[in-house]
Amino acid sequence: SSELTQDPAVSVALGQTVRITCQGDSLRSYYTSWYQQKPGQAPVLVIYGKNIRPSGIPDRFSGSSSGNTASLTITGAQAEDEADYYCNSRDNPWVFGGGTKLTVL
Amino acid sequence: QVQLVESGGGLVKPGGSLRLSCAASGFTFSDYYMSWIRQAPGKGLEWVSYISSSSSYTNYADSVKGRFTISRDNAKNSLFLQMNSLRAEDTAVYYCAREGGDGYNLYYFDYWGQGTLVTVSS
């Protein structure tokens, strides 16, 4: 199966914009989905498809994709956005990125 | 509202067996593919297995193939994972998750349970 590569850790100042990226060959064929996971909790879907937010997800979360790279952008990061973020794609048959730990300073 | 509730986790010795269950409610269970996804302590997410809506198709990660069996009972809105020949590296929180998508190039896990912890240790 293919792999999805994420930066292990990213930090952002409170109220600023941060981009979390995910790279992998499967992203050329399938849309990426993004999940937020806070300590001790189950993952929560935050973005899927062509920048679709499930009900209840703030509009500061957005997604984009180009070639083999997908991005999750948080515009105006809040303290409650501090979490681990995972990308995911359908590929033989499923693959997750290694996760990015987001710290809000 | 959609709910997924896992059960059946616990402490088991290497080589032992365990059966996990996931009780679904709030949606038409028989319409959806379902998956098991696990997370070892301090590690990332790893997809384990999926089953199609009518149980016609199943698939497994290489790490569990031949040892784990996924199944479902649509009449009881339940998903199962039979885990045999357990190893220390199978220690993880196991989540059941509902699959969404268009069957073409859009796929995602839109609902997850809270997980059940499986610990394999002597």
Q: Measured between CA atoms, how close is A94 to chain B, in angstroms?
A: 6
> What is the per-residue pLDDT for A70?
96
Using CB atoms within 10 A of its CB, is residue B25 exposed (0-12), middle (13-18) or buried (19+)? Answer: exposed
Q: What gap in Å lies between CA B81 and CA A77, rounded to an integer? A: 38
Between B102 and A12, residue with greater pLDDT? A12
B110–A45 C-beta distance less than 8 A? yes
Angle at B62 between CA B58 and CA B67, to 5 degrees: 70
Closest CA to A70 of A40, A96, A104, A105: A96
Percentage of chain B beyond pLDDT 70 is 100
Within 8 A by CB and 6+ apart from B94, the residues are: B6, B9, B20, B36, B37, B38, B48, B81, B115, B116, B117, B118
> Please, what sign has the CA dihedral across residues B72, B76, B77, B78?
negative
Return the higher-pLDDT residue of B102 and B33: B33
Q: Which of A41, A86, A91, A94 to mutate to test the interface with B (most CBs of B within 10 A)?
A: A94
Q: Residue B83 in contact with residue B118, Cβ under 8 Å? A: yes
Collapsing DSSP states into helix, strand and coil, what is residue B105? coil
Q: What is the pLDDT of residue A2?
A: 66
Give B50's contacts in chain A (Cβ within 8 Å).
93-94
Region B72-98: mean pLDDT is: 98
Distances in Å between the Cα of B122 and the Cα atoms of A84, B69, B78, B116 are: 31, 23, 30, 19
B14-44: pLDDT as tens digits? 999 999 999 999 999 999 999 999 999 999 9
Whether B8 and B68 have beta carbons less than 8 Å apart is answered as no
What are the strands, taking DSSP E only, across A28-99? 33-37, 44-47, 61-66, 69-74, 83-90, 94-96
Tell me: cis bond preceding A93? Omega within 30 of 0 counts.
yes
Is the CB of residue A96 less than 8 Å from the CB of residue B95? no
Of all residues in chain B, the one with the smallest CA distance to A27 is: B105
What tokens appear for A47 in the block? 């973005």
Assign B58 a pLDDT band (cuts: 50, 70, 90).
very high
pLDDT tens track, chain A, 105 positions:
569 999 999 999 999 999 999 999 888 888 999 999 999 999 999 999 989 999 999 999 999 999 999 999 999 999 999 999 999 998 878 999 999 999 999
Give the pLDDT band (50/70/90) at residue B102.
confident
